[in-house]
Amino acid sequence: MPTPTTYAPAKQFVGIAPETTQGTPVAMTATVLVAEFKPKDQPKFLEDKSWRGSMATDSFAQIAGVKAAEFDLGGPVYGDGIGYFLRNVLGDMATSATATGTGATTLAAGAAAGASSISCVASIPAATIVQIGTGATAEVVTTGTPSGSGPYTIPITGSTLQYAHASAQAVAPSTGPYTQAHSLLNSGSGQPLTHTLTHFLGPTPTSGARQYPGACFSEVSFKWNAESELLTWSGKAQSYPSVALGSAPVSNPSTILPVASWRMTAGIGGPAAGGTLVNTITDGEITIKRELNPYYTTTGVQSPYIIQRGGVSVEGKLNFIAADESPLLYMLNNTQPQLQLVIDNGLTGTNKIAIQFDVATAAFTDVDPDGTKAAVEYGGSWTSVLSTTNAGGSGGYSPIKVSVTNNATGF
């Protein structure tokens, strides 16, 4: 008797890569470390129930309709991987780096968003990582082979410019660590880029993997508990229907470790330091939600024409040891304080991982005392109030800004 064919779930892994065109699958460029991935293809079937003189109520035919997919995933937060999901759900990402201290120049002419090259006063060698601009419109790109005799045309490899940059803005060779500031995208169509997720599970012929292209996240949530948990995340997404991958993908997991929740600091009414540092928060969560709607058109194709992203909202919960009535008074007095949460792995240089959540205005809407435990506690729910303070380079308003420091690029 031949050995039965089986597949061990322990060998599964998930890869990801940003797409150029929504729904066109691309090969994974990174392995994202997750503890859960639950995909579900969702074809619709159209029933023919026209009368045929038969004593039956079932359909006489099941005709293929449109199809899409959805999935849930999550696990510990890895500082060099969570940026894929934040950029997908929010869209605006400014990136700053650490200058190498040599070879800096400036733009010889303005550069438009979407450009694939820049004009610089001085030449820059190929394969140099540079930061263009500063602040909310800073971005980090890799250069191609320069041309010209001054000013010099510097190609950008692997991407295009996210922001427009004025002449004379700084162009500085850089290295890690990098900080990506994620805010709500408000320019252009307001549609963030999409990603292809690759799931190696085993049964798929040849490759053992299926791809989920055009992925759009409807929810990205974070949870922490200082006593018992790592900082964790979970997400919900919709995508185009899965397709079988042609060749086997290769897992290349990061060596960066997740961070324990006790390392988090919190600030209410100001930063998570000094006089606004709050030492009584035990656990909490933050949830970023986004409206999604797949549209189907009469083009002879079963897959969506587009998965449209709509509005974003942010809400959360915080549990306090009741040193005083402050949590209750946030609600009763409608003070709507600033909220900042920072978690850091305590390392330096390219090993540094830090995540900072900034909510300029948090409206506490439901705060209840709990007198059933060893110490009196308060549990408080809050919602974000839109603010220009949290906005990124695309302007407008944003309910949150999440800044991630790591040694990774290419989200």
Give the confidence band of 409 by pLDDT, cuts at 50, 70, 90.
confident
pLDDT at 410 over 90: no
DSSP one-letter code for 393? T
pLDDT at 209 over 90: yes
Which residue do the tokens 């733009």 mark? 107
Query: CA Rg, the chain, in Å?
Result: 24
Give the confidence band of 158 by pLDDT, cuts at 50, 70, 90.
confident
CB 77 within 8 A of CB 222: yes
Q: Tell me the pLDDT of the chain averaged across its residues.
A: 96
**Amino acid in the structure at residue 10:** A
Q: What is the pLDDT of residue 2?
A: 83
pLDDT at 159 over 90: no
Mean pLDDT across 105-124 = 95
Q: What is the pLDDT of residue 14?
A: 98
In angstroms, rounded to a whole number, what is the distance separating the alpha carbons of residues 194 and 80?
18
Q: What is the pLDDT of residue 83?
A: 97
pLDDT at 350 over 90: yes
Which residue do the tokens 């059933």 mark? 372
In angstroms, rounded to a whole number, what is the distance separating the alpha carbons of residues 190 and 309?
8
Give the confidence band of 132 by pLDDT, cuts at 50, 70, 90.
very high
pLDDT at 246 over 90: yes
- The residue count of the chain comes to 411
pLDDT at 194 over 90: yes
Backbone angles phi, psi at 103, to 5 degrees: 80, 10
User: Which class for 333: exposed (0-12), middle (13-18), buried (19 or more C-beta within 10 A)?
Assistant: exposed
User: Which class for 284: exposed (0-12), middle (13-18), buried (19 or more C-beta within 10 A)?
Assistant: buried
pLDDT in tens, 56-92: 999 999 999 999 999 999 999 999 999 999 999 999 9
Give the confidence band of 214 by pLDDT, cuts at 50, 70, 90.
very high
Residue 164 in 3-state DSSP? coil
Kindly compute the dihedral angle of the four CA atoms of residues 208, 211, 217, 218, in this order, to the nearest 10 degrees: -80
Cis peptide before 177 (omega within 30 of 0): yes
Q: What is the pLDDT of residue 1?
A: 78
The structure tokens listed for 347 are: 């390392």
Q: What is the pLDDT of residue 316?
A: 98
In angstroms, rounded to a whole number, what is the distance separating the alpha carbons of residues 362 and 356?
15
Q: Is the dihedral of CA 180, 185, 188, 192 positive or negative?
A: positive
Kindly compute the dihedral angle of the four CA atoms of residues 356, 128, 162, 29, in this order, to the nearest 10 degrees: -70
Using DSSP bridges, classify how beta strands 265-268 and 243-244 pair: parallel, antiparallel or unpaired: unpaired
Q: What is the pLDDT of residue 371?
A: 95
- How many percent of the chain have pLDDT more than 70? 100
In angstroms, rounded to a whole number, what is the distance separating the alpha carbons of residues 382 and 400?
13
> What is the pTM assigned to this prediction?
0.95
pLDDT at 225 over 90: yes
Strand segments (E) across 49-169: 61-76, 91-99, 105-106, 117-120, 129-132, 139-143, 152-157
Question: 3-class secondary structure for 277-290?
Answer: EECCEEEEEEEEEE
Mean pLDDT across 285-303 = 97
